[in-house]
Amino acid sequence: MTVSASTRTVRIGSRKSQLALVQTYWVQEELQKHFPDITFEVETMSTQGDKILDVPLAKIGDKGLFTKELEVGMLEKKTDLAVHSLKDLPTNLPEGLMLGCVTERENPADALVVHEKFKDKQLETLPEGAVIGTSSLRRLAQLRHHYPHLEFKDVRGNLNTRLAKLDAGEYDAIILAFAGLHRLGMSDRIHQVIPPEVSLHAVGQGALGIECRAGDTDILNLLKSLEHTATAHRCYAERAFLRELEGGCQVPIGVNTQIEGEQLTLTGLVASLDGKKLVKDVVTGATAEAEQIGLELARKLREQGAQEILDAILAEIDRS
């Protein structure tokens, strides 16, 4: 691995949220270990998704909701790379930028966090009418499908804000990503890890995606030290699946990916917002053909009516 002698200070872009900073500081520390002669500085900024907290995510629009400002910083050469939760990074990146590497994945599952009064309950035993908070249409659609007797309410804000709303009694339970809770040292708040049979996770969930300028050889050489090949294959398959369906992070598309030996198995799902329509299928193939597996799965779900479900959802979002 060679890095130009001119590369002495590398500026890392990050959102200001606690979780984003924990993730970015981890990347900074890992890079510093591998390249002790280089200075790695963190530059923070607020994104549109951080600023608009009183509107459901789906109604704001999802094109770079948590990434655009970081991307502008790289294009204007104010920063050299940006650390994202990969699930927030659009599958089509702005011209001049690329996904430089994918880090090793944390458990990508969704997790149930309950109010104290329901500490003896899980999803399947919560009483009828219990109010569940989530800002994800993907989680909403799947949980409505399996638990139509529960009530669902939008919840926004960073992770600490959502937990505070739960503890204040605004919700009986909320659904969060296992990875975020674990990285913030809050695994003790996880009441139930939701199995993939109930809720397929978001594309890229649990992994970090590090974005940089396309063709920036020095930065790409640095990022090779953080690349986790198995996670990258899984996430490339998932992102190809999402991109082919033309779905953003705010549509009910879920995935689960497993690698055994040289074989990659991708499960994908598209569901209607009310949970009544749901199409799901599986494709297995060579790990080296990860993106082709994602494209094939998207085509299979289209044949089963996925596009009609997505079109109806987007039309409903536009009307609202």
pLDDT in tens, 252-280: 999 999 999 999 999 999 999 999 999 99
Q: How far is CA 102 from CA 20, 146, 225, 257, in A?
A: 15, 32, 10, 15
What integer best gives the mean pLDDT of the chain? Answer: 91
Which range, of 21-25, 210-214, 251-255, averages the lowest pLDDT? 251-255
Q: Quickly list DSSP for 6-18.
A: T--EEEEEEESSH
Residues forming a β-bridge with 286 = 263
List the structure tokens of 94: 């702005």
How buried is 84 (Cβ within 10 angstroms: 0-12 exposed, 13-18 middle, 19+ buried)?
A: buried
Catalytic residues: 88
pLDDT at position 61 over 80: no
3-state helix, strand, coil in the chain (%, to 5): 40, 25, 35
Rg of the Cα trace of the chain? 20
| Cβ density class 17-33: b for 16+ within 10 Å, e for less | bebbbebbeebbeebee
pLDDT at position 36 over 50: yes
Q: Which pLDDT score is estimated for 247?
A: 66
pLDDT digits (tens, 9 = 90+) for 91-144: 999 999 999 999 999 999 999 999 999 999 999 999 999 999 998 999 999 999
pLDDT digits (tens, 9 = 90+) for 62-79: 555 568 899 999 999 999
pLDDT at position 2 over 50: no
Higher-scoring residue by pLDDT: 315, 193: 193
Nearest CA to 258 out of 226, 282, 291 is that of 282
- N-terminal to C-terminal alpha carbon distance within the chain: 51
Residues 244/295, Cβ–Cβ less than 8 Å: yes
pLDDT at position 60 over 80: no
Write down the pTM of the prediction.
Answer: 0.90
Instruction: Compute the C-alpha angle 179/143/197, nearest 5°.
Output: 70
Q: Which pLDDT score is estimated for 53?
A: 47
List the structure tokens of 27: 């990347």
